[in-house]
Chain A
Amino acid sequence: MSPLPSLLIAEDDPISSRILEKNLRSWGYETTVARNGNQAWEALRGPTTRLALLDWMMPGAEGPELCRRIRALNKPGYTYIILLTSRDSIQDIIDGLEAGADDFMTKPVNFAELRARLQTGGRIIALEDKLLDSQKRLFELATRDSLTGIWNRATILRFLSDEMAHCQRGGDYSLSTILIDVDYFKKINDTHGHLVGDKVLSKVTSCLEKHIRPYDKVGRYGGDEFLIVLPNCSLYHVSIVAERLRAAVEKQKIRVDGGTLNLSLSLGCASSEVFRRPSGERMIKESDRALYKAKQEGRNRVGLCSELKIPKDAKKEPKKGSKKGTPRGPESK
C-alpha cells in the first residue's frame, strides 16, 4: 500500500488544530500545521502538500481565497482541498466549491466522516499520479529508441530543426551535426547474430553518451546510424569531438563465441558556419556526404563537410596521424 499523502492543516484555533492533528496522525497521515493564511499559502504552493484541510476564516488569507490562488497557480500534482467551516448555508457551500475547494465540512467535524472524505481525496490523488505516470511512460515510448534508450529518429530530427531555428534567430553561433555509422555492422549481424548486433549498438551508444557535452543530443537515426546534434559548436570543434568518439569506440571490444569483436565507427561532420543558407535537411545531407567519404577512404575515420581551417586561438590541434578523412576542398555552397 502506498504511503498516505502529506496533509496540511490550516487552522488558527489551536484546540481545533491539535485535535485534527492527533486524529490524522493516528490514521497515518504526515501533517503540517499552519496557523494563518500566509503560512498555509507557503505550504500549499510547495510540491509535497497534496491534501489540505483549510479553515474558512483565518487571519492573513481565508480558506476560499487560498483555494482560488492554488487553482490559479496550476502547480504539478493536484492538491485536494477540504474547507472546514461553521458556515453551512447552501450559498456558503456553493461559494466554497466555486472558489476551488473539492469538499466542504461543517465544524466541529465528525471524524469518521472526515476520515472517509480524506480517503476519497487520496483516491483522486492516486488516480492523478497514475495518469501522470502513464503520460510519462507514453512520452518515453514516443520519443526514445527502445533498444538503446537514446532519442529516436523523429525526436532527434525535431531537436535538429529546433536548434537550427534557434541558431538562425540568435545568429552568432554555429550548430554542428555528426552522422555515424557502425563499421561492418551488417557483417556482424550476419556472422554473429542479431543479439550480438544489439549488444554492439548498446555499447556504441553508451560510449557516445559518455563523450559528448551534456547539452548535445544523440539519437538513433537508422539501423546502425546515429545522429548527434551539437549546439554552439564550430566545424573545428566538431572535428575534435568526432575524433574523440572514434577513438573511444575503437578501444571497445565485444566478447563473442570464439573470441572478441573489435568495433569502429565512420563519422561525417557538418557545421552550419560553412553554409550560406543552412537548414536541418542540408546539415543531414552534408553530414551524410562526409560520412560516405569517410567510408570510401577506408572506414574508422572522420569525414568533414569542408576543408578545416584551424582557428588561431585553438588550444590544441587535432592529433597528427589521426584517422581523419582527407578534408575536401570548399564546395560551391
Chain B
Amino acid sequence: MALNPNDSLPLNRAEALERVGGDESFLEELLTIYKEEFAEKSPALADALANQDAKAVREIGHYIKGASANLSLPGLQAAAFAIEKAGAESRIEDAKASYKTLVAEFERLMKFLAG
C-alpha cells in the first residue's frame, strides 16, 4: 500500500467518481454517510484506546480503513490501516499516535470538502 498522505489531496475525487459510475450526487451522499459513520466510530475508537482494548482497536481501525478506501481517501485510509495494524499487534501507544493522525486527516478532509 504505497500511500503518502502528505503528498496527496484528502480525496481522490476522480478515482472515487469512477467507482460510482461518475455519479456526483451519489458520491456526495456517500461522503455524508462517511461523516456520520466517522462521528460514531471515532469516539468508540477513543474509548477502545483508553480501555487498552486491542481487539476493538483493530476492528474499528479495519472498518474505517475499508470505508476510506472505498471513497479514495488516502490519508484517512493510511492512518486507519496503521491503527488496525497496531491493534492487531497490541501496540496501543502506536495506535494512539495514529489516531491523532486519523483525526487530523478527517479535519483536513472536512476543510477540503467545505472549500
One of B20, B29, B69, B71 near A107 (C-beta < 8 A): B69
A57 and B59 contacting across the interface, CB-CB below 8 Å: yes
In the complex, B106 has a CB within 8 A of chain A = no
One of B23, B59, B65 near A86 (C-beta < 8 A): B65
Tell me, rounded to whole Å, the shortest Cβ–Cβ distance linking A235 to chain B.
73
The closest CB in chain B to the CB of A11 belongs to B66
In the bound complex, CA of A143 to CA of B40 (Å): 63
One of A15, A26, A57, A111 near B30 (C-beta < 8 A): A15
Main SS class of interface, A: helix
Which residues from 11 to 60 on chain A have a C-beta closer than 8 Å to any C-beta of chain B?
Answer: 12-16, 18-19, 22-23, 26, 57
Which residues from 60 to 75 on chain B have a C-beta closer than 8 Å to any C-beta of chain A?
Answer: 62-63, 65-67, 69-72
In the complex, A108 has a CB within 8 A of chain B = yes
With a cutoff of 8 Å between Cβ atoms, the chain B residues found around residue A107 in the complex are 66, 69-70
With a cutoff of 8 Å between Cβ atoms, the chain A residues found around residue B66 in the complex are 13, 16, 86, 107-108
A108 and B69 contacting across the interface, CB-CB below 8 Å: yes
| Chain B count of residues within 8 A CB distance of the other chain | 20
Tell me, rounded to whole Å, the shortest Cβ–Cβ distance linking B60 to chain A.
11
Classify chain A's interface size: 10 to 19
With a cutoff of 8 Å between Cβ atoms, the chain A residues found around residue B34 in the complex are 15
In the bound complex, CA of A12 to CA of B62 (Å): 12
The closest CB in chain A to the CB of B1 belongs to A86
In the complex, B19 has a CB within 8 A of chain A = yes
Tell me, rounded to whole Å, the shortest Cβ–Cβ distance linking A33 to chain B.
14
Given A18-B30, A86-B62, A13 and B21 contact (CB-CB distance below 8 Å): no
One of A12, A14, A19, A26 near B19 (C-beta < 8 A): A19
A18 and B19 contacting across the interface, CB-CB below 8 Å: no
B33 and A14 contacting across the interface, CB-CB below 8 Å: yes
With a cutoff of 8 Å between Cβ atoms, the chain A residues found around residue B47 in the complex are none
In the complex, B37 has a CB within 8 A of chain A = yes
Given A22-B23, A57-B59, A108-B19, A15 and B70 contact (CB-CB distance below 8 Å): yes
In the complex, B26 has a CB within 8 A of chain A = yes
Tell me, rounded to whole Å, the shortest Cβ–Cβ distance linking A98 to chain B.
22
In the bound complex, CA of A26 to CA of B65 (Å): 26
In the bound complex, CA of A271 to CA of B5 (Å): 88
One of B20, B26, B63 near A13 (C-beta < 8 A): B63
Top 8 A-B pairs, shortest CB-CB distance: A108-B69, A15-B67, A108-B70, A16-B70, A15-B70, A13-B66, A15-B30, A13-B67
Contacts beyond the supplied A14-B37, A15-B34, A111-B19: 15 A-B pairs with Cβ under 8 Å: A14-B33, A15-B33, A15-B70, A16-B67, A16-B70, A19-B20, A19-B70, A22-B21, A22-B26, A23-B20, A86-B69, A107-B66, A107-B69, A108-B19, A108-B72
Residues of B within 8 A of A (CB): 19-21, 23, 26, 29-30, 33-34, 37, 59, 62-63, 65-67, 69-72
Residues of A within 8 A of B (CB): 12-16, 18-19, 22-23, 26, 57, 86, 107-108, 111
User: Can you report 6 residue pairs joining A to B where beta carbons are below 8 Å apart?
Assistant: A13-B66, A15-B67, A23-B21, A57-B62, A86-B69, A111-B19
